[in-house]
Chain A
Amino acid sequence: MTDTAGLPRRIVKETQRLMAEPVPGISAIADESNARYFHVVVAGPDGSPFEGGVFKLELFLPEEYPMSAPKVRFLTKIFHPNVDKLGRICLDILKDKWSPALQIRTVLLSIQALLSAPNPDDPLQNDVAELWKVNEAEALRNAREWTRLYAGGN
């Protein structure tokens, strides 16, 4: 059982709600020894090239949360114009558009949405974004291939 002593009530509440009412296609479980660290699994959305894949992420709530955004990173390799080689995600709400009205839940939903709607015009991984723009068919093929190779998809 995760020790919740000294943890802000907001984090306790969010953790409980994530367990009680999980978001479809997303699981987020607090680490046993660190209640601010979450093991996240996101299912590749249907109709996207990531469909069938299971993507692991890590999410960390910094000391200043909810005044600053959670830190989230893909652990599973993914071919996506807004995710770089280290798994870092280019998503406005994780940077300058963060608001304390957002939650772990809404962040993960946004990441799920980013998988459905890659945005090559705001790239983090330039070569991937470039391919996405000049040859989308090949980019989608690569994304499906990587999903099969690294995310256990078929």
Chain B
Amino acid sequence: MGNCLKSQGSDDISLLQGGSDGNPAHQQSRSESYSSASPMNESQDHLPFYYPPPEGSHGNQVNEENQIRIAKRIGLIQNLPTGLYDGCKKNQESVSLDSICTCIICMVEFALEDPVRYLPCMHTYHKKCIDDWLMRRLACPSCLEPVDAALLSTFDTS
């Protein structure tokens, strides 16, 4: 049944996919760059598999640049503080209860002891959710604040 759903899904968006790119060769090179990037990710065994951001993945040279970029970004993300969720009472005054107690990415309420990551703008997310996003874009999903302007200038993240 899973397969059935999947193939149906790709049929449904065939036009849309053609629309966003239109070039099958480009699509191909994207998937190659994903697979060649994976061995590096495996060494980061505590992190889930990340897809590099899709832009600019043409050819092998860029694959290598992408791998370097991924490594740099993983290093940068690891500098951001993490913790275990300890209840939603402490910041209650400023923001509505709902937005503090729920991870805006997965829309699931934080449970006590959930691993979370704190961004410099003070927005909090499940570690797993925000790490996945930060690999794609180094900005807070809620306020779009760059994650760390000072670090951004020393790490090449473009």
Q: A residues within 8 Å of B by Cβ? A: 3, 6, 8-10, 13-14, 31, 33-34, 36-37, 58, 60, 62, 64, 66-68, 71, 73, 86, 88, 99-101
Are B144 and A99 closer than 8 Å at their CB atoms?
yes
Report if B25 contacts A (CB, 8 A). no
CB nearest to A9 among chain B residues: B108
Instruction: Tell me, rounded to whole Å, the shortest Cβ–Cβ distance linking A19 to chain B.
Output: 16
Contact A9 B13 (CB under 8 A): no
Give which listed residue, B8, B51, B139, contacts A34 with CB less than 8 A: B8
Segment from B14-22, B59-67, B73-81, B82-90 that makes contact with A: B14-22
Sort chain B's interface into a size bin: 20 to 34
Q: Quick check: A58 and B107 within 8 Å, CB to CB?
A: no
In the bound assembly, the distance between CA atoms of A31 and B16 in angstroms comes to: 17
* A6: B residues at CB distance < 8 A: 2
Does B105 count as interface, using CB distance less than 8 angstroms?
A: yes
- What number of residue pairs across chains A and B have CB atoms under 8 A from each other? 61
Residue B142 at the chain A interface, CB threshold 8 Å: yes
> Which residues of B line the A interface, CB within 8 A?
1-2, 5, 8-9, 12-13, 15-17, 19-20, 51, 104-108, 129, 132-133, 136-137, 139, 141-142, 144
Decide if A36 touches B9 in the complex (CB within 8 Å): yes
16 more A-B residue pairs beyond the given contacts A9-B108, A99-B137, with a C-beta to C-beta distance below 8 A: A6-B2, A9-B106, A10-B105, A31-B12, A36-B9, A60-B9, A60-B16, A64-B51, A67-B136, A71-B16, A71-B20, A88-B16, A99-B141, A100-B141, A101-B104, A101-B105
Closest residue of chain A to B137, judged by CB? Answer: A99
Instruction: Tell me the complex Cα distance, A31–B137, Å.
Output: 31
Contacts of A99 in B (CB 8 A): 137, 139, 141-142, 144
- Which residues of chain A have C-beta atoms less than 8 A from B12's C-beta? 31, 34, 37, 58, 60
Which residues from chain A contact B133 at a C-beta distance below 8 Å? Answer: 67, 100
Complex CA–CA separation, A36 to B16 (angstroms): 14
| Chain A residues with CB under 8 A of B1 | 3
The answer for the CA separation of A10 and B129 in the assembled complex, in Å, is 12
CB distance from A99 to the nearest CB of B (A): 4
Known: A34-B9, A34-B12, A37-B9. A100 touches B105 (CB 8 A): yes
Contacts of A13 in B (CB 8 A): 107
